[in-house]
Amino acid sequence: MAKLLSLACFRNEGWHNLSARSHYPSMPTFPKGETGTSSTAAEPSEVTALFSVLGMTCSACAGSVEKGIKRLHGIHEAVVDVLNNRARVIFHPSFVNEEAICEAIENAGFEAAILTDASNENSIQVCRIQIKGMTCTSCSTAVESALKAIPGVQKAHVALATEEAQVHYNPNIVTHIHILQVVDDAGFEPTLISSSEDLSKIDLHVEGHDLNDHSILILVEDSLRSLPGVLELHTTLEFNKISLSYKPDITGPRDFINVIQETSSGNLKAKIFPGEGGRRDTHRKQEIKKYYKSFLWSLVFTIPVFLTSMVFMYIPGIKDALDSKIVNMLTVGEVIRWVLSTPVQFIFGWRFYVGFYKSLRRGSANMDVLIALGTNAAYFYSVYSVLRAATSKVFEGTDFFETSAMLISFILLGKYLEVLAKGKTSNAIAKLMNLTPDTAILLSLDGEGNVIREEEIDSRLVQKNDVIKIIPGAKVASDGFVVWGQSHVNESMITGEARPVSKRKGDTVIGGTVNQNGVLHVKATKVGSESALSQIVRLVESAQLAKAPVQKFADRISTYFVPLVILISLTTWLSWYLAGRFHTYPKSWIPSSMDSFELALQFGISVMVIACPCALGLATPTAVMVGTGVGASQGVLIKGGQALESAHKVNCIVFDKTGTLTIGKPVIVNTKLLINMVLREFYELVAATEVNSEHPLAKAVVEYAKKFKDEENPSWPEARDFVSITGHGVKAIVRNKEIMVGNKSFLVDHNIAIPAVAEDLLAEAENMAQTGILVSINGEVAGVLAISDPLKPGAEEVISILKSMKIRSIMVTGDNWGTANSIAREVGIESVIAEAKPEHKADHVKNLQSSGYTVAMVGDGINDSPALVAADVGMAIGAGTDIAIEAADIVLMKSNLEDVITAIDLSRKTFSRIRLNYVWALGYNMLGIPIAAGVIFPFTGFRLPPWIAGAAMAASSVSVVCCSLLLKYYKRPKKLNNLDIRAIRIDSSSDPLIIHED
């Protein structure tokens, strides 16, 4: 009984509360005695400071730091960034200083240090780079190694499938410009996609007659620089572009546009620079167009070469014309093939020469090396044959011009299909990015909050604290909360939740979701890169760049693959050449149009071109890309290949109770009065005491007490001498009565006798998985409240399905043993660990791991951070707007337990697809190389011409990508479709059981 209220991990801001506003209503926005609207000289000016915060792992940690800072007087705003381990604090220096803020952070359990200059952040920054010219795993490995060798670079991930790199670096040691230079020096073409500095940066396109007036431009620049919140400005006259870095909390793009127009008296107009954010899609389209165009033109030249070499030679008349001599033994057909194949070799195949040169320059070998060697061997031997025929009256050589031309054409076709397929693997990101509406309806309000004007603007111009109107059928333009109206919003495109969600005043909405049946007025809280949608996009992008551990296998192979293939190719040629020279095989094996040297050369070229490492390099990243994209569409955010690989091995899942197995919102279900008293008066006294507490159970009591009041925000009697004892209860003087609300030990410690009937009620509540609260008035137990936290829909069925999947389920909770065992029995969990502190949960996870289990931890991310990090796979229930900074490897956005099964099943399907891809990739090479080398030729007479080998090589890459693309049709397990999820309804309007005891 002593721990009925010790639910320290119990928070009311769980999965259901997505508000970006402060969760600490007792905290003043300004210091006491100050107001936000005052402009008197007495008001202290605000100062912004940056702090390094080490030890944070998730949004729960960020919340703890933010809460600790905001409790200080004089704090105007505190924003904690887990990704960059920093906190930005705006404060009034007359009331608080940096040292006090550092101390508050350290008291929250983290290491803090002051960053001296807010504009030159010492924290780690991230940049994303588009890299052109990578053809296989050896290329991406070479770039990654070059990036990691740069001083100041902490992490670098290079993805072959997306042709992108993500680099974490210290801006005080290295800049993104230097990083781009290193990539360029490695032989590739880098283009900056984004950097940390761009998160609050915008490019404006300026037009007008006064654009050439230097004085007007200087005036505009000065006006923009003088705006509060503008950090940096740069003008590029060549493109009529003005680039600005700014603080989104203070200003925004609409302010910039207005300043430009007003300063120039309307002669200059500005808009957001075209193409903002579309660079990746543009690059993909350009690449597809480039390969398509190259393939078509190469085909125009290759088809005649093929016809003159393979078809027309068997048509009388045409054959005679082609065989007619020009000079000595040089024929018309040879000249035609030479002329037509040369553009294919040196114009359309030039990219392979460039790749060959760059690869050798950096001391490695890639696919371009194999293609260049193979096609050059065929082409230049043919040139030798033609020149010798032109100078000899007896030499009748055979050319291989069709081999080099058809090889290049087939490889270009393969690359075109590969790029086309790879573009489809990132469709999930494209769909997410297209969710934001093009326009928004901006509302202008008067001092009393009445709408005085509506204006349609570009949705990218929405700024923080704007009020926007969302009509039925329209998309929500930004994250925010409802200030007026009532409707249902379809959030399936963001959370995967199919059912529309009811929204009313105070509820949060997510940008990109669709309003259905009512008009809403929404106050914007997160815009641009801060929005939930932008964070989800960045998370999915990062996930697609992260390598799965299994990919190390492909990376190791690719290091030695190309040199080994070249060695095998030379060995094949030499073996067949020597065998022919010493007549170790019958002359009948040699085709009539060749000699032994040419036969050996064809075998060698075939080996060289069929063995391509492209498929091997694409096997893992393409499957990870599609898998993470499909997961995002299902409301399951998987943070990369590591999480996918670990999740498919999970055989034990540890569940937190509160907010995970249960709803996380306690409600009063039973009231027992032990004295004669009016219920309304009883709850007034209890609510007046509990309203000062932030404990979730206290909030449940206050919320229920509101039903006895007519007002929406009732006032409670004054509570004096309020005292709160964590994990036990609270006491105060209300209306000259000493009120105590808490657990049994709290009252016993204050020498209050617990009657037998109260003991029985507490035991009964515990057996029913309820929490019992005792209320004492003037030293006498006056009543017992029973509070319940209902189970989540489908919890029992989910545990049952996990058992059928041979996955063990364990519950770990900070609640007491009685309540924990009761909940466990209800859902079907046999192993229970109760009264566990947050740090002890991680120890239990480690104990399971040492017993040989691959452990997944499922928690709400609030107090489960240590356990989420310690587990092989951390799964966070609930997303909200802090989706990108969870400690978990997998985030279940819908907060449905059934998505735990979806996440594990998707990881298993994705990993099986990766295995299948490796079978395809290695199978082609293991089967194709011996055939190309002529191993079966002596027995079957079958040989693989180089151009067919080239087609097979191209097909291997395409087949691997297509195999990964089949994951797009993933369906969650049928058991979940047949799952009858019962609805939970809590009717707060009905009275709980009330019994009066005389």
Tokens standing for residue 847: 């104990």
Among 466, 656, 864, 882, the one annotated catalytic: 656
User: If you search the block for the tokens 């009748």, which residue do you land on?
Assistant: 396
CA dihedral 496, 892, 860, 76 (to 10 degrees): -60
> At 858, which helix (H) or strand (E)?
strand 855-859
3-state SS, residue 851: coil
Yes or no: say if 496 and 633 are a contact pair by the CB < 8 Å rule.
yes
Q: Is 656 a catalytic residue?
A: yes
Q: What angle do CA 625, 631, 633 make, to 5 degrees?
A: 105
* DSSP assigned state of 310: I
3-state SS, residue 657: helix
Yes or no: say if 692 and 655 are a contact pair by the CB < 8 Å rule.
no
Tokens standing for residue 583: 């007549």
Spatial separation of the C-alpha atoms in residues 383 and 381, rounded to whole Å: 5
Spatial separation of the C-alpha atoms in residues 33 and 435, rounded to whole Å: 44
End-to-end CA distance of the chain: give it in Å, rounded: 25
3-state SS, residue 991: coil
Q: DSSP secondary structure string, 709-755? A: SSSSS-----EEEEEEETTTEEEEEETTEEEEEE-HHHHHHTT----
Q: Which residues contact 391 (CB under 8 A, 6 or more apart)?
A: 328
* Burial label, 411 (beta-carbon count in 10 A; 0-12, 13-18, 19+): buried
Spatial separation of the C-alpha atoms in residues 525 and 479, rounded to whole Å: 6
Of the candidates 617, 451, 628, 466, which has an alpha carbon nearest to the alpha carbon of residue 537? 628
Residue 335 phi/psi, 5-degree rounding, is -65, -45
Spatial separation of the C-alpha atoms in residues 87 and 79, rounded to whole Å: 6
Rounded alpha-carbon distances, angstroms, from residue 631 to 51, 818, 897, 909: 35, 37, 15, 12
Residue 787 phi/psi, 5-degree rounding, is -115, 135
Of the candidates 70, 72, 48, 62, which has an alpha carbon nearest to the alpha carbon of residue 109? 62
> Alpha helices of 13-74 — where are they, by DSSP H?
59-70
User: If you search the block for the tokens 């955010």, which residue do you land on?
Assistant: 637
Strands 780-788 and 667-673: antiparallel
Residue 431 phi/psi, 5-degree rounding, is -65, -40
Count of other CB atoms within 10 angstroms of residue 686: 27
Tokens standing for residue 921: 């990739």
Using the CB atoms, write b or e for 71-105: b if 16+ within 10 Å: ebbbbbbbebbbbbbbbbbbbbeebbbbebbbebb
* DSSP assigned state of 13: S
Spatial separation of the C-alpha atoms in residues 502 and 481, rounded to whole Å: 13
Yes or no: say if 348 and 412 are a contact pair by the CB < 8 Å rule.
yes
Tokens standing for residue 363: 């001391």
Tokens standing for residue 520: 């809403």
Tokens standing for residue 613: 């490492």
Of the candidates 777, 741, 782, 737, which has an alpha carbon nearest to the alpha carbon of residue 758? 782
Spatial separation of the C-alpha atoms in residues 639 and 950, rounded to whole Å: 36
Active-site residue numbers?
Answer: 656
